[in-house]
Chain A
Amino acid sequence: MESIVSIRSLAKDHAGEKALRGISLEVPDPCLFGLIGADGAGKSTLMNILATLSDPDSGEVRMLGLDLRKGFPRIRDDIGYMPQRFSLYQDLSVLENLDFFADIFGIRGKAKAERMDHLLEFAGLAPFKGRRAGLLSGGMKQKLALACTLIHHPKLLLLDEPTVGVDPVARRDFWTMLKSLRAQGISLIVSTPYMDEAALCDSLALLHQGAVIAGGSPAEMLAAYPYRLYRVEAAPDARISTLNYPGDKPPPPGFELIYPSGGSLHAAEKPGQAGDPLGRLRLAVPEAASATMLEPALEDCFFALLSGKTANAAGGA
């Protein structure tokens, strides 16, 4: 089976900076593919190229069996793109927005009515179909945008940070919708800065400063975690119960990195260390009262991956 998207050494400059430095990716079909990375990692630049909105400077992209440069008009018939910003007509109603996109794609008559009913139902927007898009909540706006990108039965959806600025409940609903689309056999490429969302993807690519620095399924990435992870906490009755660790301070001896996470510290111990980890941690964090072994989450994987990268390049996450 051919990949739905296949990228080879893609490079693109944006505003004088190297936004993408020769990345290569394979997205199998079907797949819920997550693009993970901090702001400025190149996620949106990549999304823009895949959405056929800007040309790559070099490299090759094949999508849906077509070359991106030559086949983009055909590709547009089969992709749905949801940009980072809400970009529907705020002064038109939910129904009018759907209707407009249906017309653009030449969907008419009974097929149109059925498709619109289905999508309104799917997005949970049926009770709000007469409401102006501008008056919807953030979460509902995103659901409407998703519904509009689905109107023409696309084979591939490109969603650029669809849940940024959306409340947690609406985020969960949104991802339930994405999962159900994936179950229907639609492929999705979703960029997100949220690690809990990354865990829901079939496959991931971690972008950092315009390069893919790691990839694979969430399980594979967790399995590849090289360190022993501890959660470091202060005594419950301590004066300062929330521990912090300055980013520019070197980690305690025998540890690769240490960072705050959910009110406690996460400390990644280098392999083959002997002796009491808490004792060594206390050298740097005197308030530390306990160090509990912990299964790494995706977030810990990415911190580990990024720490190796930021060592030789300034800036970053």
Chain B
Amino acid sequence: MRPSEPSRSSNLFRVIIGKEFAQLRRDKTSLRLMIMVPMMQMLLLGYALTTEVKHTPVAVVDHDGGPESRSMIRAVSNNPLFRFRGNAASEADLREMLDRGTVKLGLIIPQGFSRQLESATRFGQGGQGPATLGLGPKGGGAQLQLLVDGQDANSAGVARGYLSAVLNQWAMHRLGARLEAAGIRLDQLIPLSTDTNVLFNPLLKSTWYMIPGIAVILVTMVTALLTGFSIVREKEAGTLEQLMVTPLKPIHVVVGKAVPFFLIGIVELMVALTIAQLWFHVPFRGNYLTLIAFCACYMLSSLGIGIFTSTVARTQQQALFIIWFFLLFFMLLSGFFLPVENMPHWVQVVTLVNPVRWFMYVLREMFLKGSGFAELWREGLAMLGIGFTVFTFSVLKFNRKAG
């Protein structure tokens, strides 16, 4: 008989882990990729992934040509939110620019705009406000027309809002000047002011929100893909078959493979955290050990996906496809780009089993609010529950004989 079973079993885990590290050390290319690629992605995506709508190209058709219209165009063209593409000769011209995509917003100033504005301010002094900026006819006053490229509904809406705000501001400014001339102060007419105090992200930088999200994606990709590939590669090479003929049990192979990639996942997260703080100056206000604990709960799922994939896929290509399929869903439904609260109710229910969603939330909360177990224990339990289920299921599936 062999030595006592438990000691032999724990030794077998160590044997696989040791072999895995020996192979990793050999594979300098992969090691370099594991660290370099996420770093580069982080640096690049940190700049690219922004929800801010900036530099929207705008063109104007000015049928009026008076001082008022020119003053208004200046207000738009001087604003850094827009990239002013100049005056279009006609509406047809403007439409063509929209068709070609060279502008996203078009502003049409009708003939007689200055005159209408003048008369409206004279007749409607006080209560009713200056020129209407609405798109439909609303009684007297000047009419402006806005053409919006609505393909990207979200940015279109935001840019349109910005333009309206700029125009309103211009109108208010003009009104203020008029009233002052008449001896009335505007802030007395509208005795309401808002004092906004933005918490956690005072400058409302979208990078502060996106960077933790990117970190989650990187950890997920690396752990799921590497684990899946590592097992499938042994399948391709025939070594898995060879291992199955030995007294090794599938659990030894699976856990032995998962442990090194678990550690790599933690390293990956730390690299991401470092870049976030030192390069992008996103403050991390949480506790590192708490973060590692949450990350451990989470990685049960991402490692589990890798293991599950390896039971289904026969080649690394198949593994890549399957993992990508899973991750695409998980990422899009995680709140990474689009807030989960904006999704239809039934989709929100579906996202409850999405581990990426939970870790995304946890990491963002920890980053900006410095939350810990006291605030996030529910999310931690959710990740642990999902992770345990995924991991156990994958290992059980692996347990059936290989091949």
**Hey, which bits of chain A sit against chain B, CB under 8 A?**
48, 51-55, 73, 76-77, 79-81, 83, 85-92, 96, 100-101, 103-106, 132
Contacts of B401 in A (CB 8 A): 53-55
| B236-266 interface (Cβ within 8 A of A) | 237-239, 241-248
Q: Are B244 and A53 in contact (CB under 8 A)?
A: yes
User: Could you give, for residues 1-41 of chain B, a 1 whenever the CB lies within 8 Å of some chain A CB and a 0 otherwise?
Assistant: 01100001001100100110011001100000000000000
Other than the given A48-B403, A88-B242, 7 more pairs (CB < 8 A) read A53-B402, A53-B403, A76-B247, A87-B242, A91-B27, A101-B246, A103-B15
Interface on B for A, CB 8 Å cutoff? 2-3, 8, 11-12, 15, 18-19, 22-23, 26-27, 237-239, 241-248, 401-403
Chain B residue at smallest Cβ distance from A96: B22
Evaluate whether A100 and B15 lie within 8 angstroms (CB atoms) in the complex, with A53-B244, A87-B238 already known.
yes
Decide: A100 and B19 in contact? CB cutoff 8 A.
yes
Given A53-B403, A104-B12 in contact, is the A85-B238 Cβ separation under 8 Å? yes
Given A87-B239, A96-B22, does the pair A76, B11 have CB atoms closer than 8 Å?
Answer: no
Per a CB cutoff under 8 Å, which of B23, B242, B247 touches A92? B23
Q: Kindly list the 4 A-B residue pairs having the minimum CB-CB distance in the complex, ordered from nearest.
A: A87-B238, A103-B15, A81-B245, A85-B238
A53 to B23 CA separation, bound complex (whole angstroms) = 25
Chain A residues lying within 8 Å of B23, measured Cβ to Cβ, are: 89, 91-92
Please determine whether A89 and B239 come into contact, CB atoms closer than 8 angstroms: yes
The residue in chain A whose Cβ has the minimal distance to the Cβ of B243 is: A104
28 CB contacts below 8 A, A to B, read A51-B245, A52-B245, A53-B401, A53-B402, A53-B403, A55-B401, A76-B246, A76-B247, A77-B2, A77-B247, A81-B242, A81-B245, A83-B238, A83-B241, A86-B238, A87-B241, A87-B242, A89-B19, A89-B23, A101-B246, A103-B12, A103-B18, A104-B243, A104-B247, A105-B247, A106-B3, A106-B11, A106-B247
Contact partner of A87 (CB less than 8 A), chosen from B12, B22, B237, is B237
CA distance A76 to B249 in the complex (A): 11
Assembly CA distance A54 to B246 (angstroms): 14
CB-CB under 8 A for A92 and B3, given A53-B402, A106-B8: no
Q: Select one of B2, B3, B18, B237 contacting A90, CB under 8 A.
A: B237
**B59 nearest CB across to chain A (Å):** 60
**How far apart sit A52 and B3, CA to CA, in the bound complex (Å)?**
23
Q: How far is the CA of A91 from the CA of B12 in the complex (A)?
A: 20
Residues of B contacting A103 with CB < 8 Å? 11-12, 15, 18
Q: Could you say which residues of chain A place their CB within 8 Å of the CB of B11?
A: 103, 106
Query: Which residues of chain B are near A76, meaning CB under 8 Å?
Result: 245-247
CA distance A257 to B18 in the complex (A): 59
Chain B nearest CB, measured from A261 CB (Å) = 34
> What B residues does A101 contact at CB under 8 A?
246
CB contacts (< 8 Å) of B18 on chain A: these are 103
Cβ contact within 8 Å between A83 and B242 = yes
A88, closest chain B residue (CB): B239
Q: A residues within 8 A CB of B244?
A: 52-53
CB-CB < 8 A to B19: which residues of A?
Answer: 89, 92, 96, 100
**B242, A73: Cβ atoms under 8 Å?**
no
Nearest chain A residue, comparing its CB with the CB of B402: A53
A81: B residues at CB distance < 8 A:
242, 245
Closest residue of chain B to A148 (Cβ to Cβ) is B242
Q: How far is the CB of A108 from chain B (nearest CB, A)?
A: 9
- Which chain A residue lies CB-closest to B25? A91
Q: Nearest chain-B residue to A77 (Cβ)?
A: B247
- Whole-angstrom distance from the CB of B40 to the nearest CB of chain A? 26
Q: A87 to B238, alpha carbons, bound, how many Å?
A: 5
The interface centre, meaning the residue of B11, B247, B248, B402 with most chain A CB atoms within 10 A of its CB, is B247
For residue B247, which residues in chain A have a CB less than 8 angstroms away from its CB? 73, 76-77, 104-106
B26, B27, B246: which contacts A104 (Cβ < 8 A)? Answer: B246
Distance from A88 Cβ to chain B, minimum over Cβ atoms (Å): 7
Give min CB distance, A68 to chain B, whole Å: 12
Is there contact, CB below 8 Å, between A79 and B245?
yes
Complex CA–CA separation, A73 to B2 (angstroms): 13
- CB within 8 A of B241: which of A53, A77, A92? A53
Residue in A closest to B27 when the chains form the complex, CB atoms: A91
Q: What chain A residues lie within 8 Å of B8 (beta carbons)?
A: 106
Interface centre among B2, B3, B237 (most CB of A within 10 A): B237
Q: Nearest-CB distance from B16 to chain A (Å)?
A: 8
What distance in Å separates the Cβ of B24 from its nearest Cβ neighbour in chain A?
10
Residues in A with CB closer than 8 Å to B237 are 85, 87, 89-90
A54 to B401, CA, bound (A): 7
Asked whether A105 lies within 8 Å of B402 as measured between CB atoms, the reply is no
Q: In chain A, what residue has the closest Cβ to B238?
A: A87
Most chain A Cβ neighbours within 10 Å, of B237, B243, B246: B246
Report how far A100 CA is from B234 CA in the complex, Å: 15
A81 to B245, CA, bound (A): 7
Least Cβ distance of A100 to chain B in Å? 5
Known: A92-B22, A100-B19, A104-B12. A53 touches B245 (CB 8 A): yes
Query: What is the CA–CA distance of A53 and B27 in the complex, to the nearest angstrom?
Result: 30
A91 to B401, CA, bound (A): 26
Question: In the complex, what distance in Å separates the CA atom of A170 from the CA atom of B66?
Answer: 96
* CB nearest neighbor in A for B240: A87
Give CA–CA (A48, B3) in the complex, Å.
29
Residues on the A chain within 8 Å of B246, using CB:
76, 101, 104-105
